[in-house]
Amino acid sequence: MSENPDNQSTSELSLALVGSGGAGVMTAGQTLLDAAAASDYYGLMTRATGPQIRGGEAAAILRLSARPVECQDDRLDLLVAIDWNKAERFADELIVDDNSLVVADPGQGEVPAWITDSGARLVEVPFDALTREFRGARTNTIAVGLVAQLIGLEGRDVDATVRRILESKGAKLIEAALAGLELGRTAAADLAGPKRLERRPEPVEPRWLITGNEAAGLGAVRGGVRFCAAYPITPSTEIQEWLAAHLPELGGSLVQAEDELASINMCLGASFGGTPAITATSGPGFSLMVEALGLATQAEIPVVVVDVMRGGPSTGIPTRSEQSDLDIAVHGAHGDAPRLVLAPNSIGDCVTTTQWAVHLAEALQSPAVVLSDQRLGQARAAIAPPPSRDWHAQRKLAGNDTADYRRFTDAEDGVSPMALPGMPGGEYTATGLSHMESARPSASGMDHRRQLDKRRRKFAQFDFGKHWADIDGDGDLWVLTWGSTTLPAREAVARMRDRGHAIGLISIRLLSPLDTEALTEALRSCRRLLVVEQSHGGQFHRYLRSHIELPADTHLLARPGPLNITPGDIVSGLEELTLEDAA
Amino acid sequence: MSENPDNQSTSELSLALVGSGGAGVMTAGQTLLDAAAASDYYGLMTRATGPQIRGGEAAAILRLSARPVECQDDRLDLLVAIDWNKAERFADELIVDDNSLVVADPGQGEVPAWITDSGARLVEVPFDALTREFRGARTNTIAVGLVAQLIGLEGRDVDATVRRILESKGAKLIEAALAGLELGRTAAADLAGPKRLERRPEPVEPRWLITGNEAAGLGAVRGGVRFCAAYPITPSTEIQEWLAAHLPELGGSLVQAEDELASINMCLGASFGGTPAITATSGPGFSLMVEALGLATQAEIPVVVVDVMRGGPSTGIPTRSEQSDLDIAVHGAHGDAPRLVLAPNSIGDCVTTTQWAVHLAEALQSPAVVLSDQRLGQARAAIAPPPSRDWHAQRKLAGNDTADYRRFTDAEDGVSPMALPGMPGGEYTATGLSHMESARPSASGMDHRRQLDKRRRKFAQFDFGKHWADIDGDGDLWVLTWGSTTLPAREAVARMRDRGHAIGLISIRLLSPLDTEALTEALRSCRRLLVVEQSHGGQFHRYLRSHIELPADTHLLARPGPLNITPGDIVSGLEELTLEDAA
Amino acid sequence: MNSAVEQQIRILGHKDFKSDYKPVWCAGCGDFGVLNALTKAMAALELSPENVAMIAGIGCSSRIPAYTTVYGFHGVHGRALPLAAGLAVSRPDLTVIATGGDGDGFSIGGNHFLHACRRNVNMTYLVMDNSVYGMTKGQASPTTECDWTGSKLSPQGTHQPPLQPLELALAARAPFIARAFSNSPNELARIMTEAIAFEGFAFVQILSPCITFRPEQLGWKKRVHDGFEPTDDRAAAFAALAEDEGFTTGILYRAPRPRFAPDRREPVDIGAIEKRFEVRS
Amino acid sequence: MNSAVEQQIRILGHKDFKSDYKPVWCAGCGDFGVLNALTKAMAALELSPENVAMIAGIGCSSRIPAYTTVYGFHGVHGRALPLAAGLAVSRPDLTVIATGGDGDGFSIGGNHFLHACRRNVNMTYLVMDNSVYGMTKGQASPTTECDWTGSKLSPQGTHQPPLQPLELALAARAPFIARAFSNSPNELARIMTEAIAFEGFAFVQILSPCITFRPEQLGWKKRVHDGFEPTDDRAAAFAALAEDEGFTTGILYRAPRPRFAPDRREPVDIGAIEKRFEVRS
Ligand SMILES: Cc1ncc(C[n+]2csc(CCOP(=O)(O)OP(=O)(O)O)c2C)c(N)n1
Ligand SMILES: Cc1ncc(C[n+]2csc(CCOP(=O)(O)OP(=O)(O)O)c2C)c(N)n1
Ligand code: SF4
Ligand code: SF4
Ligand SMILES: [Mg+2]
Ligand SMILES: [Mg+2]
């Protein structure tokens, strides 16, 4: 690490880069994250963009830390504005204060009020003018050089990262980029930075650089998925793209479908043939899939849908996160159609939960919905490698002795052995009609009930183990949440503990079927509960109420996306609860 | 009324006709119902059919009464089998006992065990052979003549009804039919019938002969609907057909769409243009509409969808009833998208509730779902004419002063005045994206929340009045239900009262938004509650739990369709509750 | 998947392809003829039931899979083709036959039909066309004549010209396009045999009368005539259609082209893929 | 509805049809040219903004309604045509223009396109075709060349021939079919004017380059040439398409036929309808 004695050293730091699309703040952010990772740091970068297709306003928000972090801090140590074009759109996410440093190009417009009013220290760097000092230099590389220097990133890690990212672009571009880095470093030389990252002790643990969407793709193939059909939709497309690149390497295949009606049905067709299948989408696409998901329930065809949630209803806010598809994930089917609904609660957990979803869908011959969101999916992080699990696609298949084979036999554990095309003697016709054990359609209420009972039983009797939730802590004060809001909740809980509070956290991973017994048990000591979710309607809270008795003193912190829920917000919510108690 | 002294006279009677499709039991049933109506009776006919397209087994089940009835009794006084072809499929709906008379053709197979074991009196009539006595006579007309005679229907009313039904078919057919009636009457002459309907005192109230599906169509046009786009699906097609015949008479129009995605979007297009619009469908079609319903929520376009529920999930049991689309009706949207959900609780109420739905959708610029079901929709009844209501489509429109018009202005009552194409100065672009008051798309969390708050407010502030539920009775014992199960519940409550129990009944008509305050208030005196619904998963019960605190002593009578929920079943459920109490 | 399953050489007759379920169809429905011809075609091709999958949507016609002894999937309305594509792409060892009615295939399923023609996955698509929605009791379908007033849903007719399935298939680049008649069993079985044997997407429109809701279709017998000569020239095929009034049978167009095969890459194991995520310094 | 609204005679310039919203489009996107030409066409037709409705789906191109001063509806992906049909059928007094991209119109919306061609409701359909999904950052659309490997979702190409919108429209019986180029403003405005003035369903494929994800489309300028001569002969139109490589512009086909009009009946009041339910004895 370079030395910069006049600022305080730290093991953790938050920063952001803003600028209009052409300025390349996302690439700059990724370079810094990757370089910090190479310098043995953990870290996270989230993206915020405006509606413009290309060239609109953009912000890359980073947190770098010596310990694993997956959520942004409440505030920034450093904010670098290559320009101020519509940056006020992100004002509620880019919080600076009198401990923050703000670096801006004086030629790119006035510093906005929310910055000047904040008390942050302001420093001018003429990024645009600097580009003229080396032919081909770009403002974003200059910014990378500047930031790296200010926060004390190892120069060789930054250079190596830039080389790697530009690998395929030719020597000339690399040369210009390295010159840009140098320009930035020089500009930083006489600046007092914010805190400086301390050097990490060696040796360090291995880490991965991965986005939540890539992680979901990996989880799918770890679970045994070998087929994907998909239709592009923000913010899920990167899962599809990752699978398009990697399924063929694993002997699998991906089909770009004409729409979501086709993609989900293609998946059902593949799965009917014995190939574990997945599709990825977001709210509008998911809405188009609910009919086929009902078919999967009735015909007992395993299939996994990853819904990377964004703001809704309707087209909503395609580029920003929300946790408001819980209702449709759980209840989006006509008829009585309980299904598996799971939610990853960290970027690394996107691997694990998606893998588990494949395993469960296959074991239970059921559709499974994985509720990820834009916050997890499009964030890139340096994380500890997700643990390997031996969850694989293991379908209960019909044996060789298929005499008198009945596809929907009323099995005690609710899971009827499945025959696959190619198995002689197993021939049957899968159907969305109510049916007898033999698969023969039936309009009889008795046959109907027998299959409904059986399907209920398969969920009730399965041992989901302890993975249904992450539970941590004890005491009478608890936070209950799910999905990506777990990340600020974890941090809030840690802060409360630092202040001496006994507090527990439950993050539910298996939302449906909900393990009401275990949840009730986990909440046994709880007298004050804060439910945290990123939805306007409090969908999670209502869902919990429909299944269990919540403590009388339950508060709800529900906020639609993309309004931030920070660790600080949750701490405030908890303080209210504890204050109330004191009063 | 004809005289038949050897049987007891009655003001109410239940009977059924069974036979394979070709036998025409449905026409026979309708003839009897219509003739009884002409003889000043109320009555109801429900249909049960097998999966065969034409010619499969069928049963027409009738109840005729001097007082309004809309649900079948627990048992039959008379069962007429033209043949026994697969009649056992309906065994659980055709309950006979030692007070019942069963008439069957000895040439058409053995009497099934459930009949012979029942203790019912058995009588043989050779329907098939009788047809040979008059060229062109048909077994079903003979059966009508026989039944009419046995139960004491006025001959001239039967003859007139037959003439009317066959009006367009020519003299020859009418002649043959009348001869058939006569053959039936003669065959009945030396039979002791079951009970005999007593003559009704004159003058009698006016009555309508109508099916639930026709009633929904009428409710729609009463409310002001002038556009329908639809795609056929059982059991909703009759609504579409009724509107196809009648909208053009009212200056409106109907388009048969290529699928449900098109039909719902056509409705939104028409409604955007200011024309109140409706579509009718059933579960599978409804599933395809949820994306567009989310658009209607976000863009605040009124629209009504009547979902005539059938067995699910997936294709399920297309011809039979179930109340299992509550979940998707309430929760079937990605994002936070509260919508109106209503349910008629009688055939006549299909008029009223559909009309109200149109009124509410228009007043609140919101999608509204009307949950009817096959039991209501395809039953035909002689009922009191539904009361006329002054609920009309009354949209809050932008005024003439459109300077600075903002389509989604943050109105205090949550309802932003709407401009319609053709109004100068009101031009705006409706959108499914999150937006500002001006309708301009926005990815800002603040704009998003403002519109979400506004839309929540429009539901919260609206005065829905007392129609949200039918509430009747008091005491500490209550039945809580919705939709078509209200019919047996009403009768069960009446029977309990006859036995001296104080008991109350609540049938919720406005399911969403649920008036939790009023419901809690209505249940204030309730200590023991029976929740009744026709779903396997107890969707209604879970939904109630998510919104209100139910009494500790709450029982659930939930049964999937088409398994019958009779008044007797509900009485048994109530007895258990009261017994428990006594114990 | 199937490679492990030992294949027995059996010579099966067409009755071996017929299940013992009694069809829900009305007596006299054209679909009986389709079922018969299909079982004959499968026998003629010496297929094994376990290696054939019939995929259907919803409708009277779509009930056909369960009346055979092969694997079947009776999906939801309009989605037979994507179900079949997913199966055929992931299990190229199987013989995949998608089937259904004119409503299922050309109304709600029209988009998948278009894209299936282009995509050219190796499968057969048999549409039993009766110009009506039989299952829902007689509404106009896309192929219904515009002046048919027999439906309560369009009592004054459809107000639009019938869709032309063959012309559309040709415009959408289907490589095998034919028409047959359920009442001409031998020609039907022959055309089906060729369609199933064809490598790629083979589409057959089968005129199959609905005697219940379109009894006048009994008259089709007199109007149907063979006449199409297989060509691989699109212009010639368009020209043949210009002459056709909807009752010419035969193979209209046959022009094999590379069938859809998804991306292929050098196989690696998951460990190697995971390594790419590791932080390099 | 509109009959009550008093009509003012105003002469509007094309700028009166442009809103003050800044398009989200990339600088240089072909859709700017479409917006310009459209506002010119509306001015030339002396339309009043309040009597025009532009209906779009989702995509870069589908954003266009809000950039005009007419009524607009930016619906969901692929459903512009049914929205427009519902509006046009119920409000025949309006000028209804449906619009969107090639993904919106031919991929997810393909079925509605087929049926809109047949149904022939009085409206115009303008598709801005850039052979790519711009909005979702560059995936292949139905009109993408099969060997385009620029998308991460189909890195080895699409494995299927591009869909031919004009040929499909012709096969599906659209009565007005044209192609234009966003970079030929005068011809584009002229064709739009004719399409909007046409009584019935008028379809215009507009080649509109995506400079961000298909920068090579800047080369279209050199390939595009006029050439179609309007004909009302389907065979001639098919023949013209056989010669076309996708870059001929002009009106290909124009053959007015009765436009869709739903059933009409003698007006009665609701009371008379209700009377029919009364029990008669
Ligand atoms: C999503 C959905 N919409 C509507 C239906 C109702 N439906 C069942 S079959 C059918 C039409 C069948 O027509 P066709 O495909 O021509 O088959 P046919 O019965 O004539 O053989 C319809 C509309 C359904 N099952 N699902
Ligand atoms: C149901 C649904 N699926 C997918 C998407 C994502 N999506 C938005 S626009 C688009 C494609 C747009 O392509 P095109 O219509 O060609 O418009 P362009 O952006 O190229 O102008 C897609 C797939 C969506 N919004 N809704
Ligand atoms: S209704 Fe028509 S298509 Fe259906 S089974 Fe009967 S004859 Fe066949
Ligand atoms: S991405 Fe392409 S289509 Fe979209 S605005 Fe940019 S240039 Fe136009
Ligand atoms: Mg048909
Ligand atoms: Mg495009």
Q: Closest chain A residue to B283 measured between Cα atoms?
A: A334
Q: Check pLDDT > 60 for residue A5.
A: no
Chain C residues inside the 8 Å CB shell of A221: 270, 273
Largest interatomic CA distance in chain C: 80
Average pLDDT over residues A366-394: 96
CA distance B481 to B464: 19
CA distance C193 to C149: 37
Per-residue pLDDT band for A50 (boundaries 50, 70, 90) equals: confident
Angstroms from C46 CA to nearest CA on chain D: 31
B128 Rama sector, left if φ>0, alpha if ψ -120 to 50, beta otherwise: alpha
Using the beta-carbon criterion (under 8 Å), do D108 and A237 form an inter-chain contact? no
Residue B421 lies in a domain: no
CA distance B372 to B323: 8
Q: Tell me which residues of chain B, numbers 441 to 500, contact chain A at a CB-CB cutoff of 8 Å.
A: 441-446, 448-449, 452-453, 456
Q: Closest chain B residue to D91 measured between Cα atoms?
A: B273
- The answer to whether residue B244 neighbours chain D at the CB level (below 8 Å) is yes
C32 lines ligand 3 (CB under 6 A): no
Say what the pLDDT of residue B7 is: 62
Q: Check pLDDT > 80 for residue A36.
A: yes
Q: Check pLDDT > 90 for residue B190.
A: no
Using the beta-carbon criterion (under 8 Å), do A207 and C278 form an inter-chain contact? yes
Same domain as A178, residue A85? yes
CA distance B490 to B71: 9
Q: H-helix or E-strand containing C96?
A: strand C95-101
Average pLDDT over residues B31-42: 95
Q: Check pLDDT > 80 for residue D4.
A: no
Q: Count structural domains, chain A.
A: 3
Instruction: For residue C135, report the distance from its CA to the centre of ligand 1, in Å.
Output: 6
CA torsion, points D240, D241, D245, D248, in degrees to nearest 10? 60
Q: In sequence order, what are the beta bridge partners of B506?
A: B471, B480
Q: Check pLDDT > 70 for residue D2.
A: no
Average pLDDT over residues A249-270: 98
Residue A276 lies in a domain: yes
DSSP C105: I
At A388, the amino acid letter reads S
Q: Which two tokens stand for residue D20?
A: 């003050």
Domain boundary among B383, B404, B424: B383
Which string of DSSP letters, residue by residue, matches B237-250? Answer: HHHHHHHHHHTGGG
Q: What is the mean pLDDT of chain B?
A: 94
Q: Tell me which residues of chain A, numbers 405 to 434, contact chain B at a CB-CB cutoff of 8 Å.
A: 431-434
Q: What is the mean pLDDT of chain D?
A: 95
Q: Closest chain B residue to D84 measured between Cα atoms?
A: B269
Q: Check pLDDT > 80 for residue B201.
A: no
- Span B333-370, pLDDT tens digits: 999 999 999 999 999 999 999 999 999 999 999 999 99
Residue A83: which of A62, A103, A61, A113 has the closest Cα?
A: A103
Domain boundary among B175, B197, B219: B197
Enumerate residues with CB within 5 Å of ligand 6 (an ion).
Answer: D 101-102, 130
Per-residue pLDDT band for A274 (boundaries 50, 70, 90) equals: very high
CB D66, CB B425: distance < 8 Å: no
- Span D22-64, pLDDT tens digits: 999 999 999 999 999 999 999 999 999 999 999 999 999 999 9
The residue to mutate among D63, D136, D211, having the most atoms of ligand 4 within 8 angstroms of its beta carbon, is D211
CA distance A430 to B435: 44
Average pLDDT over residues A327-348: 98
- The answer to whether residue D275 neighbours chain C at the CB level (below 8 Å) is no
CB D110, CB D141: distance < 8 Å: no
Average pLDDT over residues A37-49: 93
Q: Tell me which residues of chain A, numbers 304 to 333, contact chain C at a CB-CB cutoff of 8 Å.
A: none
- Span B147-184, pLDDT tens digits: 999 999 989 999 999 999 999 899 999 999 999 999 99
CB C83, CB A266: distance < 8 Å: yes
Cis geometry, peptide bond prior to residue B562 (ω within 30 degrees of 0):
yes
Same domain as B354, residue B227? yes
Using the beta-carbon criterion (under 8 Å), do D160 and C118 form an inter-chain contact? yes
Same domain as A223, residue A126? no
- Does the reported pTM lie above 0.95? yes
Q: Check pLDDT > 60 for residue A384.
A: yes
Instruction: For residue D55, report the distance from its CA to the centre of ligand 2, in Å.
Output: 15
- The answer to whether residue B286 neighbours chain A at the CB level (below 8 Å) is yes
Say what the pLDDT of residue B392 is: 92
Same domain as A321, residue A288? yes
CA distance C220 to A530: 71
- Span C222-231, pLDDT tens digits: 999 999 999 9
Q: At what angle do helices A283-299 and B283-299 cross, to 10 degrees?
A: 160
Q: Which two tokens stand for residue B395?
A: 């949209």
Chain C residues inside the 8 Å CB shell of A214: 277
Helix-, strand-, coil-residue percentages of chain A, each rounded to 5: 40, 20, 40
List the CATH number of the domain containing A481: 3.40.50.920
Cis geometry, peptide bond prior to residue D185 (ω within 30 degrees of 0):
no
Per-residue pLDDT band for A583 (boundaries 50, 70, 90) equals: low
Instruction: For residue D64, report the distance from its CA to the centre of ligand 6, in Å.
Output: 13
Residue B84 lies in a domain: yes
- Span B508-563, pLDDT tens digits: 999 999 999 999 999 999 999 999 999 999 999 999 999 999 999 999 999 999 99
Instruction: For residue A431, report the distance from its CA to the centre of ligand 1, in Å.
Output: 15
Q: H-helix or E-strand containing A284?
A: helix A283-299
Q: Which two tokens stand for residue D86?
A: 């519902």
Q: H-helix or E-strand containing A429?
A: strand A429-431
Residue A86 lies in a domain: yes
CB A421, CB C65: distance < 8 Å: no
Contact residues for A515 (Cβ-Cβ < 8 A; gap 6+): A464, A468, A469
Same domain as B363, residue B284? yes
Q: Name the neighbours of D, counting chains with at least 3 Cβ pairs within 8 A.
A: A, B, C
- Span C91-128, pLDDT tens digits: 999 999 999 999 999 999 999 999 999 999 999 999 99
Question: Which atom of ligand 3 is nearest to C130's Cα?
Answer: 3
Q: Check pLDDT > 60 for residue A100.
A: yes
Q: Check pLDDT > 80 for residue A2.
A: no
Say what the pLDDT of residue D30 is: 98
| Secondary structure class of C212 (helix, strand, coil) | coil
Per-residue pLDDT band for B580 (boundaries 50, 70, 90) equals: low
Residue A392 lies in a domain: no
List the CATH number of the domain containing A359: 3.40.50.970
Say what the pLDDT of residue A580 is: 64
Using the beta-carbon criterion (under 8 Å), do D111 and C111 form an inter-chain contact? yes
Cα–Cα separations (whole angstroms), residue B342 to B302, B326, B356, B444? 15, 10, 9, 33
Domain boundary among B328, B351, B383: B383
Domain hosting residue B49, numbered range: 9-197
Pairing between strand B340-342 and B510-512?
antiparallel
Using the beta-carbon criterion (under 8 Å), do D110 and C108 form an inter-chain contact? no
Same domain as B378, residue B277? yes
DSSP A460: H
B30 Rama sector, left if φ>0, alpha if ψ -120 to 50, beta otherwise: alpha
HSE value, Cβ hemisphere, 13 Å, CA-based, for B111: 21
The neighbour count for residue A439, using CB atoms within 10 Å, is 24
CB B369, CB B329: distance < 8 Å: yes
Pairing between strand A380-383 and A42-49?
antiparallel
List the CATH number of the domain containing A193: 3.40.920.10
Per-residue pLDDT band for B85 (boundaries 50, 70, 90) equals: confident
| Secondary structure class of D100 (helix, strand, coil) | strand
The neighbour count for residue D1, using CB atoms within 10 Å, is 15
Using the beta-carbon criterion (under 8 Å), do D171 and C173 form an inter-chain contact? no
CA distance B68 to B384: 7
E-state strands within D31-175: 52-56, 71-74, 95-101, 123-129
How far, in whole angstroms, is CA A322 from its chain's centroid?
11
Chain D residues inside the 8 Å CB shell of A244: 152-155
Using the beta-carbon criterion (under 8 Å), do A443 and B51 form an inter-chain contact? yes
Using the beta-carbon criterion (under 8 Å), do D153 and A240 form an inter-chain contact? yes
Say what the pLDDT of residue A4 is: 43
- The answer to whether residue D152 neighbours chain C at the CB level (below 8 Å) is no
Instruction: For residue C144, report the distance from its CA to the centre of ligand 3, in Å.
Output: 15
Instruction: For residue A257, report the distance from its CA to the centre of ligand 4, in Å.
Output: 22
Same domain as A218, residue A181? no
Same domain as B177, residue B239? no
Same domain as B184, residue B69? yes
Integer Rg of chain D from CA: 20
Q: At what angle do helices A237-246 and A212-223 cross, to 10 degrees?
A: 50
Q: Which two tokens stand for residue A371?
A: 């509720």
Q: Which two tokens stand for residue A486?
A: 């777990």
Q: What is the mean pLDDT of chain C?
A: 95
* Tokens 């609206």, residue located: B462
CA distance B238 to B379: 11
CA-CA-CA-CA torsion sign (A66, A71, A76, A79): positive
- The answer to whether residue C243 neighbours chain D at the CB level (below 8 Å) is no
Say what the pLDDT of residue A400 is: 75
Residue B71 lies in a domain: yes
D129 lines ligand 4 (CB under 6 A): no
Instruction: For residue D247, report the distance from its CA to the centre of ligand 6, in Å.
Output: 16
E-state strands within D118-247: 123-129, 176-181, 201-207, 225-226
Q: What is the mean pLDDT of chain A?
A: 94
The neighbour count for residue C176, using CB atoms within 10 Å, is 27
Nearest to D139 among A256, A258, A260 (CB): A256
Q: Check pLDDT > 50 for residue D69.
A: yes
* Sheet of strand A528-533, all strands in order from the earlier edge strand to the far edge: A469-473, A504-508, A477-482, A528-533, A553-558
Q: In sequence order, what are the beta bridge partners of C99?
A: C56, C126
Residue B73 lies in a domain: yes
- The answer to whether residue B22 neighbours chain C at the CB level (below 8 Å) is no
Residue B510 lies in a domain: yes
Which ligand is nearest the CA of C27, by number? 3
For an interface test with A, give the residue of C90, C97, C259, C275 to mutate (most A CBs within 10 A). Answer: C90
Same domain as B170, residue B123? yes
Same domain as B78, residue B160? yes
Same domain as B553, residue B478? yes
